[in-house]
Amino acid sequence: MNKSIKPLVRITCMLAILIFLIGPFSERYAEGQPTISPETNVGSQEQPEAEPEPNAEPNPEQMQPQQSTLGVKRMSQILDYAHFIPLTNSPGNQVKLLLNYTVDDSTLIGKPINAVMEVYSTNRSLIRISSYPEPIIANHSGVVQLATTFADEKIQNIIATATFTGPGKLVSISDPVTIDLNLGQVVGN
């Protein structure tokens, strides 16, 4: 073999091995897309979409829930809509929650907050955490959408838990909302 081709073959082989080894873990980090649609009198501001929280551990059974500290309840939330359905325009199954929220503590209005969704398997293993990459600004009331997509079609049943947190995502400022969903299930609207 030509001496100038040998290094290219080595690099190509190493990349193929790396892709093979990383492939099973890429599902955990794929396509989280929470968005927010606040109700305001001034007009809506477009908020950035979020991605799942990156974690150092590649094994979902080792993942820990995002909310580590229960704080004072400063917001109320009601589940308006939820689904766990196959996507029609791309591969994968999507979990989506729409939450209506009301700020109970008026000092929180105009302050940064966050929303977090944890998705568990039926055996209570944490599969994915999705949240906003940057804090959002609390209005008196509004609607928050949290969504994430799973390419793994073996996942047929999930438990989704959503809560509002402080801007650092460590202190819960609302009671959690939890729903069990089977693939194909739509709740609400």
Predicted pLDDT at 56: 34
DSSP 14-81: HHHHHHHHHGGGGGGGS-B--EEEE--SS-PPP-----BPP-S-S-GGG---S--EEEEEEEEEEEEE
Q: Give backbone dihedrals phi and psi of 178, rounded to 5 degrees, phi first.
A: -125, 140
Q: How far is it, in rounded angstroms, from Cα 145 to Cα 179? A: 15
Domains of the chain: 31-188 (2.60.40.2550)
* pLDDT band with cut points at 50, 70 and 90 for residue 65: very low
Q: What is the pLDDT of residue 110?
A: 96
The distance from CA 174 to its chain's CA centroid, rounded to whole angstroms, is 17
Averaged pLDDT for residues 23-36: 39
Mean pLDDT of all residues in 3-7: 64
pLDDT tens digit string along 78-111?
999 999 999 999 889 999 999 999 999 999 999 9
Indicate the pairing of strand 171-174 with strand 69-86: parallel
